[in-house]
Structure 1
Amino acid sequence: MEGVRNSIAPFRGRSPLCLTGALTGLLLFLSSVPAVPLPAGGAPVRGNAYMGIGVLAHDGSDGTPPPVPRASQAEGVDVSSYQGAVNWKTLWGDGTTWAYTKATEGTSYTNPYFSSQYTGSYNIGMIRGAYHFATPDTAGGAAQADYFVQHGGGWSNDAKTLPGVLDIEWNPYGDDCFGKSKSGMVGWIRDFLNRYKSRTGRNAVIYTATSWWTQCTGGYAGFGATNPLWIARYASTVGALPAGWKTHTMWQYTSTGKTVGDHDRFNGPQDALRDFATG
């Protein structure tokens, strides 16, 4: 809101007509802002975070051209409570064949739309999975993995369920790295991944951005051999990957498109995606 206050400042002391114009402009501006609840401090309300929230949650820029569609890469989408009721029929008609839904955050929040979004994508024919928005400042990694599994983040070998995702990115509520040292962050991530593997038998996917990974883990390279990477970069190419990964499994390339949700690519065709789901 600081930008709004600055835009109003030049109109102080002006005529009522000028003030009316300023207020009209303010209302138009506010109508274009995404409806994520914001308290006085300007941060989103706990629980409302989602993949790629905010301008710093991914590398690249919304202004760069999206990649050219490729038949060799299955198209996907990720959604949260921010999208609410999703028109899965429209997404399916546009060629979207897989989806991830936010299930949990921390150890106290569950997405109120999770059931309808998770089953809706499944019922339309998509291969689907669930993700957990990590808040390492609120509870340990193992505790958050347990909460995730207990509230929709499990896995079944039915060729329709993708492994769970750890969404670890910039903290929308405060300090970028959630108050963790680089080694502390690596330890937290390891605890989450180990517990998820012991609970489900699958290695969780890691969703992150290269610059965040470098900043908050110090470029740790120890997870690339076991955990698939979902890279967040809004550009026409994937770009540099975090340390430890030679390739990516999924790519979130834009938050805009013809249909709702962030848009993603699986690094392979539909058959490979089905194989990935079965483990």
Structure 2
Amino acid sequence: MPLRRPGPPRRRTARSLVGALLLAALCLTCAVPASAAATPARGSAYLGMGVLAHDGSAGSPTTGDATQTEGVDVSGYQGNVAWSTLWSSGVRWAYTKATEGTYYTNPYFAQQYNGSYDVGMIRGAYHFATPDTTSGATQANYFVANGGGWSKDGKTLPGVLDIEWNPYGDACYGKSASAMVSWIADFLNTYRSRTGRDAVIYTAASWWSQCTGDYAGFATANPLWVARYASDPGTLPAGWPYYTMWQYTSSGPTVGDHDKFNGALDRVVALANG
């Protein structure tokens, strides 16, 4: 029986080369770290983005408390919001993301900010801070120039500094506690000089402890909006004896994150009027 002749050497070499290239491509794909693939796009952050990942969720608050007023916060993620539906559900105040860093403005801001006002809500705007990109003063000016201003019309709440976990990298934006406090002060001082109002600070107790070293110096002037998805707001960040607003869930009815104002509707009006 005659022996089979081996295939042409050139063909065997080509097949081997194709296999090697495919294997290399697969290895390159496997080498991409999971963290890199999970990093969101700049501009996509929103109020409370890091709460579930870092603080978790444990229960929900008692509903129907007449001493608290239901609110909602939204961003570009929600798109065009059905404000009349939210109003019918009992929501009476709203915050809309206006800006992030100095590189993003919410494309749905007008519909969200004006739409909440048009149905009768008291509304305001918030800024997602990125202290690793530009100074606090620069970001405060950008915020005011792009929807974060204030007017004493009884329907406009002071602007909010959303300062929380960095969704794009190091939780504290690469800053020491003292440098973070200085950045926040720079933003707050500039916002006050531009609008005449003290901005609200939105944060979570665990982030505040980690990234500001439990700094207590802002509590006398700046209202607290605390984030905690649980049956109660828990231990507050250092310095604040009480909260003004509490974000209690990221999956509220209809749309957006839902919140409680620590007071009846007349207290929401009082904050709007300064």
- Do they superpose with TM above 0.5? yes
String of CA shifts for 1:7-49, please: whole Å, max 9, x gaps: xxxxxxxxxxxxxxxxxxxxxxxxxxxxxxx995311100000
Partner of residue 260, structure 2: 265
* 2:141 is the alignment partner of 1:113: no
Question: Is the contact made by 2:60 and 2:249 (CA closer than 8 Å) also made in structure 1?
Answer: no
C-alpha distance in 1, partners of 2:246/2:54?
Answer: 11
Q: Is the 8 A contact 2:216 2:238 kept in 1?
A: yes
1:169 matched to 2:164? The reply is yes
2:71 equivalent to 1:42: no
Segments of structure 2 that go 5 or more residues without pairing to the other structure are 1-33
Mapped pair 1:139 → 2:134:
yes
Deviation of 1:258 after TM superposition, in Å, equals: 2.0
Q: Which has the larger radius of gyration?
A: 2
Preserved CA contact (<8 Å) 1:106 1:134 = yes
Partner residue, 1:11: none
2:49 alignment counterpart? 53
Secondary structure at 2:258 match in 1: strand
**For 1:249, which of 244, 249, 272 is the aligned residue?**
244
For the 8 Å contact 2:68–2:262, the answer to whether it is kept is yes
* Structure 2 counterpart of 1:85, from 68, 80, 84: 80
Q: Distance in 1 between matches of 2:50 and 2:60?
A: 19
Instruction: Please report how far the alpha carbon of residue 65 of structure 1 lies from its aligned counterpart in structure 2 after TM superposition.
Output: 2.7
What SS class does the counterpart of residue 142 from structure 2 fall into?
A: helix
Distance (whole Å) between structure 2 residues aligned to residue 127 and residue 57 of structure 1: 30
Measure the CA separation in 2 of the matches of 1:180 and 1:57: 21
- Select which of 187, 208, 214 maps to 1:213: 208
Cα offsets for 1:102-156 (capped at 9, x unmatched): 0000011000000110000000100000000000000000000000000000000
Name segments (4+ residues, structure 1) moved above 4 Å. 55-58
Q: Match of 1:200?
A: 195
How many Å apart are 1:60 and its aligned residue? 4.6
Contact 2:136 2:184 (C-alpha < 8 Å) held by counterparts? yes
SS of corresponding position for 2:79 = coil
Q: Which amino acid aligns with 1:260?
A: V
Q: What RMSD in Å do the two structures reach over aligned CA positions?
A: 1.5
TM-score when normalising by structure 1: 0.84
- Local SS of the residue matching 1:130: strand
How far, CA to CA, are the matches of 1:232 and 1:48 in structure 2? 19
Distance in structure 1 (CA, Å) of the matches to 2:249 and 2:243:
16
* C-alpha displacement of 1:54: 3.8
Q: Which residue of 2 aligns with 1:27?
A: none
Deviation at 1:59, TM superposition (A): 3.5
Q: Which amino acid aligns with 2:41?
A: V
Q: Partner of 1:20 in structure 2?
A: none
2:237 is the counterpart of 1:277: no
Q: How many residues end up aligned between the 2 structures?
A: 241
Question: Secondary structure of 2:147's partner?
Answer: helix
Contact persistence 1:58–1:209 (CA under 8 A) = no
Letter in 1 for 2:55: D
Matched, 1:240 2:246: no
Residue-by-residue CA offset, 1:192-226 (whole Å, 9 max, x unaligned) = 00000000000000000000000000000100001
Maintained 8 Å contact 1:135/1:171: yes
Per-residue deviation, 1:72: 1.2
Say if 1:170 and 1:101 are closer, same or farther in 2 by CA, change over 3 A.
same
**SS at 1:75 equivalent:** strand
Name the counterpart of 1:16: none
1:230-267 C-alpha deviation (Å, 9 max, x unpaired): 00000111110011100100000001122100000110
